[in-house]
Amino acid sequence: MLESCATCHDPLKHMGHPMGAKAKDPRNPNLVVDCLSCHRSHGTEFKHLIPYATTSDLCVKCHEQFKR
Ligand code: HEC
Ligand code: HEC
Ligand code: HEC
């Protein structure tokens, strides 16, 4: 999936968040972090195709420790 998004978007210009084999999704050990861990390709009601209203709502899904 990362490869298909990268046809048009350069992942290196973005965030620098870890993706791929070294970043296992803490919500599901069978998945690794990729573009679709943080975006929905079919659109959401929020900015940047992110499935939550705020960026911090997204981050705390995997990073409990960022919760305030
Ligand atoms: C860890 C979460 C995360 C991952 C993984 C991620 N994104 Fe994002 N993305 C964000 C957030 C948050 C924003 C909102 C803008 C910002 O804060 O930089 C964003 C914004 C964007 C934008 C619009 C703004 C810009 O920088 O042009 C594009 C395009 C984008 N992401 C594409 C991708 C693609 C393609 C991948 C996979 C290579 C990817 N993202 C992986 C969280 C993520
Ligand atoms: C055929 C080329 C193409 C492919 C493949 C593609 N995109 Fe995009 N994407 C675009 C264009 C064009 C835009 C609008 C211009 C921009 O914001 O860069 C865009 C915008 C975005 C945005 C920003 C939306 C916003 O509201 O800020 C995100 C996030 C994004 N794409 C994620 C992805 C992800 C994730 C994938 C893989 C599932 C993907 N794109 C695959 C062309 C593509
Ligand atoms: C799908 C799960 C997931 C989401 C969503 C997510 N992360 Fe991560 N994040 C990870 C994993 C996995 C790692 C790599 C292993 C680790 O350090 O825990 C990581 C690592 C990081 C790191 C350490 C970076 C490094 O180079 O070591 C930072 C900082 C970070 N994430 C910030 C964010 C922010 C900010 C957001 C929201 C925009 C976010 N993360 C969303 C799973 C996620």
> How far is Cα 38 from Cα 61, in angstroms, rounded to an integer?
10
| pLDDT, averaged across the chain | 84
Task: Show the tokens assigned to 7.
Answer: 């046809």
Residue 1 has pLDDT above 60, yes or no: no
Ligand nearest, relative to CA of residue 5? 2
Residue bearing the CA closest to ligand 1, atom 41:
35
Closest Cα to atom 31, ligand 3: which residue?
17
pLDDT mean over 38-43: 81
| pLDDT at res. 60 | 92
pLDDT of the residue at 68? 67
Average pLDDT over residues 32-42: 87
Query: How many angstroms separate the Cα of 6 from the Cα of each of 10, 26, 32, 50?
Result: 6, 24, 16, 17
Note the pLDDT of residue 5: 85
Residues contacting ligand 3 via CB (< 6 Å) = 17-18, 23-26, 33, 37-38, 55, 58-59, 61-63
Q: Look at residue 54 in the predicted model and tell me its pLDDT.
A: 87
